[in-house]
Chain A
Amino acid sequence: MEKQPQRIVSDSGFEIEVVRKDEGYFHVRVSRANVIELILSAKQRCGKNILQLISVVDRIEDDIFQLTWILEDTADSSVFIVSADYPRENCSVPTFGDIWPTAVIFERELHEMYGIEFPGNPRQYEDFLLEGWKELPPMRRDFDTLEYSIRTYGERRKRIHTDPRKFIAETTGEWDTPVPMKDEDR
């Protein structure tokens, strides 16, 4: 069994863009039709037996979600990373829950935080961190957290000045500086 996944990349019949190649580190970008094939062959032929993480970047300017799967070989800790782009609207991504059970939990979290659908994941509609969330998924960049925070939890109590002396003098009237500081000393 070869350790580096170059062979897979060169054998594959589809286009693969190599992002970065290093000792024990291989990052590729593929089109979303070939994600399953590439990841499965990396698992079977190169011994990348752990799914470490599924991460998402919300690139709202390009109107895409960039998903990244990080696979690891437990024998020599070498990493194989696969990235693919998916459209933001009605985003639907294949699930890896039947191959790696951890993927079920990662995908649940992504569904809750970004609203990404993983058809075939048995537990994707369960609550993960947010209990009973009814708004837009909070990690999407079109969700306005400040507006939501003020609407739900109330506006924060603000301080009027950033100068503590003035603030304490106004609220308590007890601040008495023997030598007033000049503005250029501050």
Chain B
Amino acid sequence: MYCNKLPEIPDDRKKIWEKVDNMARANSLWVTAFGTGCGAIELRPLHTSRFDMERFGIAMRPTPRQADVLIISGYLAVKTLKRVIRVYEQIQDPKYIIALGSCTMNGGMYYDSYNTLNILDRYIPVDVYVNGCMPRPEAIIDGFSLLMKKIKEGKAEGWKNYIENLEYYRENQKKVISNWDLPDYNW
């Protein structure tokens, strides 16, 4: 059972609900438990009593269907990019991406590697970058609060950007993934 339809941007939104929705979304960010690189180890302390991210309403979900946020934690290899695309497209709208570490911005220490992407936002839309190698848990919490601020202001619209410019992103993705065998959109 496949769906061949491409996603659409919902346009029947009422402004008054939008504000309430954004408040709710910002205060209940559910994160896909998917560690793409070395930074995944820096996410674990966020659960503990020292940093405790549950007080912001942030929780880990084991499945992308129920999540809102995808964290690209550290360097992203081409092989992982394929899985990231699958996971990202399975998350239901609205969805956000946080990218951790300098590797996601310009390749970091892997800038001359044969399989690490140098510039992440050519392939998927990133809402918040957290710099550092690796960022400390405090920095990640700071990134989360920045994302909350953006959501409350209604500016975290990477997912709309992705739907609008799907062709551009697909072209870039296909350029680096040489054995492309994904469907048009991974529902």
Contact = CB atoms under 8 A, between A and B. Distances in A.
A92 interface: no
Interface residues of B, number: 21
B118 interface: yes
Contacts, number: 52
A143 interface: yes
A155 B79 contact: no
A143 B119 contact: no
Interface residues of chain A: helix, strand, loop or mixed (majority): loop
A130 B115 contact: yes
Contacts of B105: 157
Contacts of B175: 152
Contacts of B12: none
Most buried by A among B78, B111, B117, B176: B111
A129 B178 CA distance: 13
Interface residues of A, number: 20
Nearest to A149: B112
Contacts of A130: 78-79, 115
A134 B178 contact: yes
B106 A149 contact: no
Given A145-B112, A145-B113, A146-B112, A153 B176 contact: yes
B107 interface: yes
B82 interface: yes
B178 A138 contact: no
Interface in A134-170: 134, 138, 143, 145-146, 148-149, 152-158
B4 interface: no
Given A131-B179, A133-B178, A134-B178, A153 B117 contact: yes
Given A145-B112, A146-B112, A153 B178 contact: no
A146 B178 CA distance: 19
Nearest to B111: A156
A132 interface: yes
Contacts of B117: 153
B114 interface: yes
B115 to A, nearest CB: 7
Interface string A71-87: 00000000000000000
Contact of A143 (B106, B107, B114, B115): B114
Contact of B79 (A129, A145, A146, A157): A129
A134 B76 CA distance: 20
B107 A153 contact: yes
Given A131-B178, A132-B178, A154-B122, A149 B114 contact: yes
Contacts of B113: 145, 149
B119 A154 contact: yes
Contacts of B119: 153-154, 156-157
A-B complex: 5 closest residue pairs judged by Cβ atoms: A132-B179, A132-B178, A146-B112, A156-B106, A138-B114
Interface of A: 127, 129-134, 138, 143, 145-146, 148-149, 152-158
8 contacts: A133-B178, A134-B178, A145-B112, A145-B114, A149-B116, A153-B176, A154-B118, A154-B119
